[in-house]
Structure 1
Amino acid sequence: MRIRLSFAVIAFSIITVSATTREGCNQNKIKTIVLRDQADVIDAHLDYNEGTPSTFDANTGEANELPIFSWTVYGFPVTGRALIRFSLKSIPKKSEILSAKLSLYGYPENFQSFAMPQGNKGDNIVVLQRVIDEWKENTVTWNNQPRVTREGEIALPISTSQWNYNVINFDVTSLIKDMRTTENYGFSLRLQTEQTYRSIGFLSSEYSDVTKRPSLEITYKK
């Protein structure tokens, strides 16, 4: 009788340990990472200034801002777009993306913008599109900017303030999933309607305050 009881206790203990281990494994399979370091992000501003043709071939990959606009300078039309790419190499290839949330931070008041001193103005809805060509942060320009696809594009909400307008935890899961199944060339940001006068600006990965740089929070399951 004592032997049977001991065996039953041992068997119960094994079942309990097994159940706990299984539960722990399931919990460990889900992981969240935040991509924000300069090693994980590249971005650049694209500038078109009809009055200054040299801007067509100018690279601004080291700028601390991502101005997006349609404006005029001395009567000449000017247009600004932006590119941003987050490295997805730290995510295991066979893992499943559960969610991806993009955060962009707007210009603080009195920010010294080289392209957009007026801050956020007008009907400035921005479309986020998937880039389909390779590009490099230190060589991309308006003239050699990569192509994009409108398939699955997402519209960022219109700004609600002239300064300090942040887009936090914006759902880009579908676009990130597409980048995983095709190629990851990042996002293009441009005005939905590139007509004067509209503008919206975000800080880039070169901005001095690390907490205000673009970030991408990804939750995945191994």
Structure 2
Amino acid sequence: MNAMKLSYCLPLVLILFLSLSSFQITNNVASAKTLVTRVFYPSHDAVVYEGDPERNFGSHAEIGINYRIGFRDRSFIMFDLTTLPPGSTIVSATLNLYMYDAPNSSRTIACYEIVEEPWNELSITWNNQPLTTVFLTSVITGTRPKKLSFDVKESLVKFTCKDEMDYMPNYGWMLKDINETIGDKDDPLWICSKEHPDQDKRPYLEVKFYPPHLELNIEESSIEAGNWVRITVHRKTSSNEPITRGRLKIKFSSNSTSTSKKFSITPGGSEITELVIPNEESSVTFYYYDEKAGTWKISVWTDDYVDYMGDAKVIKVRPGPLYSFGFEHISSPKIMAAPFAITIIAYDIYGNVKTDYTG
């Protein structure tokens, strides 16, 4: 009887499943350098008039410029640029105005960046106008109606600077005749304002830029199930310089099918799905945990700015140490003395198949 049992046991074949796949990290930052064009319309514009120094003209359908002493006109214009993220690489920025009533003699109109002093279109007057300005650029008007375009890239570079050192807040621009007080005749020019009934002739600002991006760094490309891995997210310009200005809320996810997956500020900590990169910091660190073996994609992005580029990388989760064996279902009946195969499967404590077990 014992010999018969041996005759059944000797032909048993142990089959182990080996599935060692190659591992590759993918990163979408390579395609992050995409030129974006955005058009902005004024949040504020107004003309101030030396001949009526306490009166506000912020709701009129036109803004204007005049050089005659005692009757000078200056115009102010500002755009809400808060949707442009810090660290944007500005390629061009053009302020476009439609001059519907040109001067009789061609003039040179200067554009000045306003610094230090905020203003409002419904309260600005000649007497309280911002006085601290920096010359930026100028255009020649000619004597016929046309579009006037000012190159304001230098300002946009400051407004969207990556750090506090070179940053300047956006207070808009002042437009005036570059040779004010030269001449004794009225010869104004008039420009359509944001209230003008013809929308096609209202002012607009066209900005072309490369947006910043997030860069995801995972400390280890492969971890055992049931372990934590350190992750760092950096915010960078299109030329990979660190960005430290402003707060940026980032979100992250994993496509793992595990119910145990989670992100946390510290290993073993509470689950999180978002974090803030604080002002003056270029990165933030957190941790990821998973119990299910497989190759999973970790993604990071921000909803704070529509053009901000996210990132994604993959991480391999390996089965943990050997915990138990299992048998696949054995069909029956069997023929006496005929060999048959038995599949024995090795598992870790989380139920993952041990593909690296060699017996």
Q: TM-score range by the shorter chain?
A: 0.7 to 0.9
Alignment of 1:148-163 (within 5 A): 148-150=132-134, 152-157=135-140, 159-162=141-144
Per the normalisation by structure 1, the TM-score is: 0.72
Equivalence for 1:102: 95
Letter in 2 for 1:194: E
Residue 174 of structure 2 aligns with an amino acid whose one-letter code is: S
The answer to whether the aligner puts 1:45 opposite 2:42 as a matched pair is: no
Instruction: Report 1 or 2 for greater relative contact order, CA contacts < 8 Å, sequence distance ≥ 6.
Output: 1
Counterpart pick for 1:166 among 132, 137, 147: 147
Is contact 1:124-1:199 (8 Å) kept?
no
Distance 2:197 2:168 in 1: 33
The 3-state SS of whatever aligns with 2:67 is strand
Q: Which runs of 5+ in 1 are unaligned?
A: 1-10, 50-54, 109-118
Paired-residue identity, %: 26
The answer to whether residue 77 in structure 2 is matched with residue 89 in structure 1 is no
Highest CA radius of gyration, 1 or 2?
A: 2
1:160 CA displacement = 2.0
Q: 2 CA distance for matches of 1:178 and 1:57?
A: 32
Map 1:46-125; keep pairs closer than 5 Å.
46-49=48-51, 55-71=52-68, 77-107=70-100, 119-125=102-108
With 189-198 and 82-91 compared, the bigger mean Cα shift is at 189-198
**Distance in structure 1 (CA, Å) of the matches to 2:130 and 2:29:** 47
Runs of 4+ in 1 over 6 A off after TM superposition: none
Sort the Cα spacing of 1:182 and 1:208 in 2 relative to 1 into closer, same or farther, 3 A: same
Query: Relative to structure 1, is the Cα distance of residues 176 and 125 closer, same or farther in structure 2, using a 3 angstrom cutoff?
Result: same
1:195-206 equivalences under 5 Å are 195=181, 196=183, 197=185, 198-206=187-195
CA distance in 2, matches of 1:204, 1:48: 19
Matching of residue 177 in structure 1 with residue 177 in structure 2: no
Structure 2: unaligned runs, 5 residues or longer: 1-21, 161-166, 212-359
- Cα displacement (A) at 1:68: 0.2
For residue 129 of structure 2, the aligned residue among 129, 140, 145 is 145
Post-superposition CA distance 1:76-103 (Å, at most 9, x none) = x311000001111011122222210111
Letter in structure 2 aligned against 1:30: L
Structure 2 residue matching 1:194: 3-state secondary structure: coil
Structure with more of its chain in helix, by fraction: 1
Alpha-carbon distance in structure 2 between the residues aligned to 1:45 and 1:22: 45
Structure 1 counterpart of 2:32: 26
Displacement of 1:47: 0.4
CA RMSD of aligned residues (A): 2.5
Tell me the CA shift for residue 141 of structure 1. 0.3
Higher strand share: 2
Distance 2:36 2:197 in 1: 28
